[in-house]
Amino acid sequence: MKTTPKRAVRSCPICGKPRSADHAPFCSTRCKDRDLVQWLQDGYAIPGEPADIPSGREDDGADEDF
């Protein structure tokens, strides 16, 4: 009889507690919110060359009717 391998129990990436199905991949709303704040405050970064961000917006005249 074949048995399927058990999945490794993964923990919350913020505090290390067991994950909650309601808040996956986190354990609670608190850890979920802490992760969101990290993203919003540039606490996380994707490695690589910085993107070229234009300093000003080119006006194409599309908003003239508003």
Q: Is 15 a known ligand-binding residue?
A: yes
Please provide residue 40's backbone torsions phi and psi, each rounded to the nearest 5 degrees: -70, -30
Residue 12, marked binder: yes
**Helix then strand then coil, % of the chain, to nearest 5:** 20, 5, 80
Backbone conformation region of residue 54, classed left if phi is above 0, alpha if psi is from -120 to 50, else beta: beta
Enumerate the known binding-site residues for Zn(2+).
12, 15, 27, 31
Instruction: Please give the annotated binding residues, written as ranges.
Output: 12, 15, 27, 31
